[in-house]
Amino acid sequence: MTDKDFDLTRRAFLDGVLKATAGAGMTAAAPWAVSAAAAEPLQRDRVRLGVIGTGDRGRTLIRNILKTRNCTVAAVCDNFEPHLAKGRALVAANTPAFADHRAMLDAGGLDAVVIATPLDMHARQAFDAFGAGQHVWCEKAMARTIADCTAMVKRSQDSRKVLQIGHQRMFHPTYLNALKRVKAGEIGEITQIRASWHRNTSWRRPIPPGSTDRKINWRLYRDASAGLMTELATHQLQIGGWFLDAVPTRVIGSGSICFWKDGREVYDHVALVYEYPDGRKFVYTSLLNNARYGCEEQIQGSKGTIEPELGRIYQEVPPKVLALQRMQEDVKRGHKRVVPIGGATWFPELPVTTPGESLGWGEYDETMLQFEGFGEAVRAGKPLPGMLAQAYHASVASLLGEQAMDRGEAVTWPTNLITV
């Protein structure tokens, strides 16, 4: 792709975001996206980012940072040399590289850090960055405990530094368009959201020379991760809270190590129900031994259903009158017609299979946009509005779900969370 091609792609993407956020209620519902897409990066020095963690996800983030118009990778850091070498290969040859994030912070020359390390390291590394006067962009979920999530928010507020969490769907034009149509009343009152993230993989990676199982496969162990809840569910819990415009009141759930009995400590199969005000529900399942239904959300209202991950909207069709009911009406009116005994009207209701309508689709680059937004937030010294609250509540919800499954009982929403 040439620079000119990228300019056109980027402009079309930003225009798609702006179009999707233009409408009643959208400025309040997605102020971060409006702000990030509307701001044209100023022609001045780029925001200097130090990337902590250059594994698979960290390198994906580096590639997106390099696409932005206002950020640059000014340093890379990883305590595993093979990962650090791969990270260095993506940036300029003279980019400083470190094995310890504290050494990177001490070296200076940065405006902010990007944290893409195992979950249990997020809070400590964010605290160190705030202490060094740096702004922080951090991968989701926020931290391993609710207390650490809360402490990260408080530290960012006390230090007056930006804390942004990586929920890229919040910048995705398809999701923004879906929310716009919900706000316009197209699917009526939302009463339930069903979400799933199903894979067919052990999630276990081979251990390269010089490393250990717990270092490479940290997602499978309780001290470092809540497994499916923090690595996958947190994305969709953010979407649930966003579309329902509320936080849950309580959650119930069941988790098990159902299929991959290989010494892991985290569940490979989870099923939860999050209850929201007015009786609304968010129903979530995730498993690691069947990928048929993959990753999806079904936002169900009285007039229709939206599936943003698949980019479709479906209108509710008035139910057909069953044959017996139609026969009763005919008798009342004295009409006669053939009654199809044993026809389809005698069977239970089946799923609607109409193709629906497209919400718009394309090669979107929402990860790039969230970094451009972060860059402008760093320059202004102010976070993108509304974004941290979404991420904080999604992280809390994911960890609360873990607690509900562990205890085997309903767990209520905490009352001691900090105001964002």
pLDDT score of 336 = 67
| pLDDT tens per residue across span 393-418 | 999 999 999 999 999 999 999 999 99
Instruction: Identify the residue with better confidence: 346 or 175.
Output: 175
pLDDT score of 337 = 64
User: Is 323 a residue whose pLDDT tops 70?
Assistant: no
User: Is 338 a residue whose pLDDT tops 90?
Assistant: no
pLDDT score of 31 = 94
Q: Amino acid letter at 307? A: E
Q: Which two tokens stand for residue 245?
A: 């415009």
| pLDDT tens per residue across span 69-82 | 999 999 999 999 99
Q: How many CA atoms lie within 13 A of 277 on its CB side?
A: 5
| pLDDT tens per residue across span 248-306 | 999 999 999 999 999 999 999 999 999 999 999 999 999 999 999 999 999 999 999 99
User: Is 339 a residue whose pLDDT tops 60?
Assistant: no
User: Is 361 a residue whose pLDDT tops 70?
Assistant: no
Total H helices, total E strands in the chain = 15, 15
**Whether 128 contacts 103, CB under 8 Å:** no
When mean pLDDT is compared across 23-27, 95-99, 203-207, the lowest value belongs to: 23-27
User: Is 50 a residue whose pLDDT tops 70?
Assistant: yes
**Burial grade of 325 (CB within 10 A; 0-12, 13-18, 19 or more):** exposed
**Whether 80 contacts 211, CB under 8 Å:** yes
As a whole number, mean pLDDT of residues 336-358 equals: 67
What three-state secondary structure class fits 337? coil
| pLDDT tens per residue across span 5-34 | 777 788 888 888 999 999 878 999 999 999
* Local structure of residue 157 (DSSP, 8 states): H
Q: Which residues contact 39 (CB under 8 A, 6 or more apart)?
A: 372, 373, 376
Q: pLDDT-derived band of residue 359, with 50, 70 and 90 as boundaries? A: confident
pLDDT score of 156 = 98
Residue that is written with structure tokens 């009343």 in the block: 185
Q: pLDDT-derived band of residue 342, with 50, 70 and 90 as boundaries? A: low
pLDDT score of 353 = 76
Can you list the positions of beta strands (E) in 199-334? 250-256, 269-275, 281-287, 295-301, 304-307, 312-315
**Whether 308 contacts 359, CB under 8 Å:** yes
**Whether 256 contacts 228, CB under 8 Å:** no
